[in-house]
Each structure stands twice: as structure tokens, then as C-alpha cells.
Amino acid sequence: MSDNQQLPLPMEDFIKTLPSEICRQPELYMIDGKTPLSAFRPLHIDQISKIIQFANQYNFAVSPQGSRTALTLGRKLERYDIALDTSGMSKLVEYTPEDLTVTIQAGATLRDLQSDLAEFGQYLPADPSPSDVVTIGGLLATARSGAWRGNVPSTRDLILGMTVVMADGSIATSGGRVVKNVSGFDMHRLHTGALGSLGIISSASFKVLPVPERNVSLILSCSKINEADELAFILRNSNLPIRGLTILDSNASRKLGFSSTPKVLVEFTGIEVSINRSIKDTEQIMSRFGEIDQLEDSQIWDQIRSLANEQKEQIVIRCGVQAKNVVEVIKLAELNTAACAWGNLTSGSVWVIFESIDVTTLSKFRSQILSLEGFMQVEAASMNIRDIFNPFGDIEIDLVRALKNRFDPSGILNPGRWTVGV
């Protein structure tokens, strides 16, 4: 607990009932400049349940957090009393490589999971921003994806089940551990992307895939962004085994250490012969475009993901549009003085970084994206911007509110993160 804060009596009494090793310094858990009254790092789901039950009884607001990489995604919290650090729950619960299924606690990082799976030549195809330090809970709660989305099955496609601590402290499981299951409502899909506002994710089960035998990344130079668009479409329509296909604007290209022209970055995965054929076909395609370079490793993809790091003083925007509008959004971003932009053709997601931007320009940018039948979401920004600019735009708020009222009637889970009272 914080030394300079007087704790409400019920909380003081409650803390005495917990093992001291799960009580943490609240100062370590500041969000948007606010320090919580208490912070806990539970080691067992029953401890989460006990904390949430207590919070619900006394109406203390709880904010679950894992690696703290997405704290500025969403509106400023309306209340913040308890920090719930999930990183203490990081065990591999069950892993059956022969069934391609794994169950892991939410506090484990994606990196931990990948390393466990790698021992058996498997992986979870997830490439979220800013990196694989995100926890499994964070990966699911933010539903962030990267260049792989749409090319290979992603987290949303591979989630099989989930255990969640509900706002009343009860423990609810959905789905299961088999690779195909339609029994009951897919609650795990509801919590995926819900930013911890409907329950605290405690563990999750996934279908996993074999690690491809080989992967190779090529960086393809273009003189203009429209050329990059054309090239990316040719590759997408080529039938080659693509895992990542990203268009970089000239600024993103420069930030990543390449020349200041637009680029197409492509990753092929598969067996040796498929990779060789992919390289050969791409060389042929490139004969009427620009230079082609084979990268030594796949670090470039990590570097792109880390461009969207909220720790920097920048505004990170993610747009979603149809494939044919990906480059349109990149062009609009440039017109609106973006620092850099890159887009993943298959998923239609475009990331845009602004060093600074005023709300009027941001609003104009959003309406331009809406006119392309897309959406624009603020992934990271200062509190000031998130205070006055709705990070999510129009969502189906009546249904979201109805769900929130049923799942968390006292509004103790990340209150206000979606919109007022939700």
C-alpha cells in the first residue's frame, strides 16, 4: 500500500487477510498519473476471485494488467482503486503437442508460451504490437494482431476456451480444450477485445500450429506508394505461401533503416522447395518494379511492431479498411502529417504514427476513414487526447452497455475505458 495514502478501513482489513507476497507497491502501477489504493499480484485464481469479490462488495474499481503495454488503449479510467497484476499467474496448465492444443494462464507472456511450444516444433501464430512481451491475457483483451492476420489463422481464430473471473468473483469457463467445439455461447470471443471490462481473463486454451520449416523475408523497393500497392496485390494474388505482407510508406521505411522510398515487405513460410519457388517467382515479379533484398533474419517484423510503442510520446492509430483501401489510408495519413504509416494488406489494418496531432485533424482523419467504410481506433495517446477524442469511434454502444450492465452491474472492471460508465 502507499505510505502517504490513508486506506479505507475495509481495504485495510482485507489486505490483512491476503498472503503478504501478493501485495505490491501501488506506486508501481500508476495509470494516467493516478496511483491505485492497492495493488495485488495473485498467484492463484482463487485469489483473483477473492479480490474481485471484495472489490465488488465495496465498489472498488479494479484494473487488470499484465505487461502494461496497452494502458493508453481506450479512454481514461473513471475510477482506479485496485491494480490487479496478472503476471503472477503464468503457468502452462496443459499442453498436448499431439493434439495441437495448449492451455496457459493469462499472466504468462507470449514469449514464454512460444518458448514452451518451440520445444515441440509448434507455435501460436500471434504477432501483436509492441512485441511478444505481452501477456496472454493482454493479447486477448486487446485483440491486437499484426502482419500475419489473415494469412495464417490468428489468436481470434485459434482460441478454444477461456476461464474468466466474473465481476462478482465467480469463475466461469467457456469452450473447451478440443479443437472444434460449438457448445454454448462463445464467451471467450466476447472477452477477446473487451479490454478486461467484462471479466478478468485467468487462463485460455488455444489450437497451435507447427512452426514452418523455413521462413524468409524479402524487402521490395518501389518508387511510389501506388507501385507498392500494385506489387502487394500481385503478391497477394500469387498463391505463394505468404505469412506477412506489409506496405511501408517512405517514412516507415526510413525509420526501419532502409532508403526513403515505399517498400513492400513480404515473408514466406514453408518447406525449402516452397521458399525457393517463392523467391524465384518474386524475383520475376520484381523485374518490372525495383530492387529486391533478402533479409538475413525476421527481426524486421519485430522492429515494425515496436514502432507502435506507447512508451514513446506519440499517437498510435490503427485503421481497418478493405484491402483496396490500404494504400488510400497510407496516403491520407501522409496528407495529415503522419510521422509514418504501414499497412497489412490481407487484414486491411493500417498503423499510423503521429508525433503530434491536434484533435481537429484527428477527427478529420477519422471521417476520411469512415468514408472508406473503415474504422479508426486510437491505440495509444496522451491522456489529454483520449479525454476529448473518443478512441474507438462509433461502436454498438447500446449492446455493449447492456452487456456491461449484466456482467458488471457495479461497474468495477476498468470503468469508463470504453465510454462513460462502460
Partner 1 sequence: MENNQLATLISELLQKIDRSKILDAPEDLLVYEYDTSIDRAIPDVVILPTNADEVSHAVKVAEIYGIPVIPRGSGTGFAGGALPVKGGILIVLTAMNNIREIDVENRTAIVEPGVINLHLHEALEPFNLIYAPDPSSQRICTIGGNVGTNSGGPHTLAHGSTVNHILGIEVVLPSGRIVWLGGKQLDTPGIDLRGVFVGSEGTLGIVTAICVNLIPTNETIRTMLAIFDSIDSASEAVSAIIRSGVIPMAMEMMDQETIKVVEPRVQAGYPVDAGAVLLIEVEGLSEAVEHDSAVVVSACNDLGAREVRTAESALERESLWEGRKSAIGALGQTAPAIYLLDGVVPRTKLPEILNKVLSASSKAGFKCANMFHAGDGNLHPTVLFDPLEHGATDRVLELGGEIMKLCVDAGGSITGEHGIGLEKRSYMEWVFTDADLAAMEKVRFSFDPVGNFNPCKILPTGHGCAQGHMQITDQHFSAPGVYV
Considering only residues 6 through 65, tell me which ones interact with partner 1, judged by CB under 8 A.
none
Which residue, 8 or 176, is less far from partner 1 as judged by CB? Answer: 176
Region class of 208: left (phi > 0), else alpha (psi between -120 and 50), else beta: beta
Calculated CA dihedral for residues 81, 1, 195, 348, nearest 10 degrees: 130
Which residue, 35 or 53, is less far from partner 1 as judged by CB? Answer: 53
If residue 227 lies in a helix (H) or strand (E), which one and from where to where? helix 225-236
- Contact between 187 and partner 1 per CB under 8 A: yes
Minimum distance between the CB of residue 1 and partner 1, rounded to whole angstroms?
31
The site that binds partner 1 (CB under 8 A) totals a number of residues, namely: 80
Stretch that binds partner 1, among 222-230, 286-294, 330-338, 393-401 (CB under 8 A): 393-401
* Contact residue for partner 1 among 12, 25, 46, 185 (CB under 8 A): 185
Give the CB-side neighbour count of residue 189, counting CA atoms within 13 A. 10
- Contact between 284 and partner 1 per CB under 8 A: no
- Contact between 405 and partner 1 per CB under 8 A: yes
- Contact between 415 and partner 1 per CB under 8 A: no
Binders in 295-314 for partner 1, by CB under 8 A: none
Stretch that binds partner 1, among 25-33, 54-62, 236-244, 250-258 (CB under 8 A): 236-244
- Contact between 410 and partner 1 per CB under 8 A: no
Binders in 240-269 for partner 1, by CB under 8 A: 240-241
Minimum distance between the CB of residue 148 and partner 1, rounded to whole angstroms?
11
Which residue, 110 or 242, is less far from partner 1 as judged by CB? Answer: 242
| C-beta separation of 7 from 37 below 8 A | yes
Choose among 189, 212, 213: nearest CA to 201.
189
Helix (H, G, I), strand (E, B) or coil at 416: coil
Which residue, 244 or 290, is less far from partner 1 as judged by CB? Answer: 244
Q: How far is Cα 50 from Cα 202, in angstroms, rounded to an integer?
A: 13
Stretch that binds partner 1, among 131-139, 355-363, 380-388, 390-398 (CB under 8 A): 390-398
Choose among 144, 160, 300: nearest CA to 216.
300
* Contact residue for partner 1 among 6, 20, 239, 360 (CB under 8 A): 239
Helix (H, G, I), strand (E, B) or coil at 58: helix
* DSSP assignment of 268-331: EEE-HHHHHHHHHHHHHHHTTS--EEE-SSSHHHHHHHHHT-TTSS-EEEEEE--GGGHHHHHH
Which residue, 213 or 297, is less far from partner 1 as judged by CB? Answer: 213
If residue 206 lies in a helix (H) or strand (E), which one and from where to where? strand 200-207
Minimum distance between the CB of residue 182 and partner 1, rounded to whole angstroms?
5
Binders in 132-171 for partner 1, by CB under 8 A: 143, 145, 149-150, 153, 156-158, 164, 166, 170-171
Which residue, 150 or 244, is less far from partner 1 as judged by CB? Answer: 150
Q: Is 375 exposed, middle or buried (0-12, 13-18, 19+ CB in 10 A)?
A: middle
- Contact between 322 and partner 1 per CB under 8 A: yes
Which residue, 128 or 130, is less far from partner 1 as judged by CB? Answer: 128
Gyration radius of the chain's alpha carbons:
22
| C-beta separation of 374 from 332 below 8 A | no
